[in-house]
Structure 1
Amino acid sequence: MSARTLVIASGNAGKIREFAGLLEHLPLTMKPQPEGMEVEETGLTFAENARIKARAVAAATGHWALADDSGLSVDALDGAPGVFSARYAESDPARIARLLQELGDTDNRSAYFSAALCIAAPDGSVLVEVEGRCDGVITTTPRGAEGFGYDPIFEVLGTGQTFAEMDRERKKSHGHRGRAFTLLEPQLHQLLAGS
């Protein structure tokens, strides 16, 4: 089976590294989306946004494209930041500061990360769609130096650790993206075998 090109529909270097690590054992040549390409996320759900990005990048590159839309939903904030997780503020530290400020000293700190993954073909067809979820709580202060985004303030249920305190393997097994990839992988294997 020769390697097929899969374009990662993201400009986020951390996300591209994480995807490459999750898929490194498959016969794929991974490339980032074209430099400077911006796809407007107009969906109301993580799944809709992933689909929009995958279709746009696949059409632009002529290759299969894998997109994700993921984010943090906090119960006490009526699900915010949700699909606006990346646009909640201008940087990771600012997003964390805003979230902690809005939560204040509320007792209900339950939250969950969702990751919707979509692989689309250049003709616009959706080849695979899956969604993974990870439950946890928002800490009162950031902990750990690994990861990116909200990782330092999201403690995974039952672990006593934030994502930023976990090594890559542990985060992969507990994380929303890792769970989504566990659902994606058998379907991607079938696609590769059939192409």
Structure 2
Amino acid sequence: MSLSPSRPVLVIASGNAHKVAEITSMLEGVGPEVGLEVRQQPKGLEIEETGLTYAENARLKASTVASLTGCWSLADDSGLEVDALDGRPGLHSARYAPTDHEKIHRLLHELGDSLYRGGTFVSAMALADPAGEVVLESEGVCRGLILREPSGHGGGYDPLFHVREAGCSYAEMGEHLKSRLGSRGKAARAMAPGLKRLLGLG
């Protein structure tokens, strides 16, 4: 009896169920409706992000998870780059401080009263085939301004990042706006056509 799935399986290289659902919803036309089963990476898996760029980290995660599971794997790596801080926290966004509250406090402290508050959310995505070879990549960026105090409730730096086109902070944006204007949404939309083609969907 064959144990191979009857439909393609895509493993999102993340242990965060919310992030998996978010990425799945951003991949327009990719999901159960086109015969794709989406899963999150195996529990307890920790992948050290040793890349020097977002793209390298995304490739590393996608390749590792694909090799371990024998399934297609999609990974992303994201960060906030603040102009006045020479691009910090950048690649170290997730490790800038132990908690979201402390990350926001540190960022505001380092930025101080600077009038130059431009910043960019950057997201890179990588798709690896079941053998672990990266076969597709994409990137998305979202420009914004760093607020002087948090607005809204959200993870990471979202409450501090004001998106002019949305007229609100990243944390206050609905899923539709995040998919259209957000860095991860832009990367996912750019990824979707190639992903569907490679997995034989639709």
Same fold (TM over 0.5): yes
Higher RCO (Cα < 8 Å, 6 or more apart): 2
Instruction: Name the CA shift for 1:24/1:157 in 2 (closer, same or farther; >3 Å).
Output: closer
Distance in 1 (CA, whole Å) between partners of 2:178 and 2:27 is 15
Task: Report the Cα offset of residue 29 of structure 1.
Answer: 0.8
Q: Are 1:17 and 2:24 an aligned pair?
A: no
Q: Give the gaps of 5 or more residues in structure 1.
A: none
Distance in 1 (CA, whole Å) between partners of 2:17 and 2:155 is 10
Identity within the alignment, %: 52
Contact 2:180 2:186 in 1 (8 A): yes
Higher mean alpha-carbon deviation, 89-98 vs 156-165, is at 156-165
Q: Which residue of 2 aligns with 1:104?
A: 112
The TM-score normalised by the length of structure 1 is: 0.93
Per the alignment, in what secondary structure is the counterpart of residue 159 of structure 1? Answer: coil
Distance in 1 (CA, whole Å) between partners of 2:138 and 2:158 is 22
Q: Are 1:130 and 2:138 an aligned pair?
A: yes
Task: Report the Cα offset of residue 189 of structure 1.
Answer: 1.6
Larger radius of gyration: 2
Q: Are 1:171 and 2:171 an aligned pair?
A: no
Contact 2:140 2:184 in 1 (8 A): yes
Q: Which residue of 1 aligns with 2:80?
A: 72
Q: Are 1:94 and 2:102 an aligned pair?
A: yes
Distance in 1 (CA, whole Å) between partners of 2:171 and 2:155 is 7
Contact 1:14 1:148 in 2 (8 A): no
Task: Report the Cα offset of residue 24 of structure 1.
Answer: 7.1
Letter of the 1:193 counterpart: G
Letter of the 1:11 counterpart: G
Letter of the 2:61 counterpart: K
Where in structure 1 do 4 or more consecutive aligned residues deviate above 4 Å?
none
Residue 153 (structure 1) aligned to one of 153, 157, 160:
160
Aligned residues between the structures: 193
Q: Which residue of 2 aligns with 1:6?
A: 10
User: CA deviation digits over 1:26-74, x for unaligned, max 9?
Assistant: 2321111111101111111000000000000101111011100001000
Letter of the 1:99 counterpart: L
Q: Give the gaps of 5 or more residues in structure 2.
A: 1-5
